[in-house]
Amino acid sequence: MLILDEVNYILGSRYVKHHEAMEAIKHVSNESKVSVVLVGTPETKQLTQISFQYFRRFPRVELRRFEACNEEFCQLLCSIEEQISPPVPLGLGDPKTHLPEVLHEMSGGLLGALTPILQTAYRALLHQYDVDGLRDPMKFIEMLEAAQNTILGDDGKAFMERLLKSERDHRS
């Protein structure tokens, strides 16, 4: 499987026609005999609507953000922790640790923000402290905050405002 991220940049290109880009992607898929997944903003829907062939080949699956820090979000966090397989349990999805609330607040429930925040924080924590640093929840939260600033910028409120505006714009 080949995942092409940020396909929406095709839309802004002045030098590549949309149809030509889609034909090139189709060609890569045919020649390599692999499935191709296109990932991008809702605007990329335009690309798959150029022809029925693209529409059929690249069906749209919309990933919505978690609007609440609920059981489903906690289960996702548990799954992520299981995949990370840390040497020391982090309790990412355990409501008693309050990490689900912190992570939901930091990411706005958006998987595209949550994943890099977790990756960056986890790597920084292991780099700065070693495995024993994982036992200290305050160090982990400190790394999460630093990661959030790195990934989303230091203005979490502005991030949420832009996210909510984007959702409103795409619903109308």
Reported as a single tens digit per residue, the pLDDT across 124-167 is 988 888 777 778 888 888 999 999 988 887 666 777 777 777 76
Q: Which of 73-82, 106-115, 152-161 has the highest mean pLDDT?
A: 73-82
Same domain (yes/no): 32, 108? no
pLDDT digits (tens, 9 = 90+) for 10-50: 998 889 899 999 999 999 999 999 999 998 888 888 999 99
What domain range includes position 135? 71-170
Q: How many Å is the Cα radius of gyration of the chain?
A: 19
Rounded Cα distance, 74 and 28, in Å: 38
Residue-wise DSSP of 114-143: HHHHHHHHHHHHHHHT-GGGGG-HHHHHHH
Element (H, E) at 4: strand 2-4
64 found inside a domain? no
Same domain (yes/no): 161, 100? yes
Instruction: Give the angle subtended at the CA of 49 by the CAs of 44 and 52, to the nearest 5°.
Output: 140
Number of domains, the chain: 2
- Residue 88: what are its φ and ψ, rounded to 5°? -130, 130
> CB within 8 A of 72, min separation 6: which ones?
66
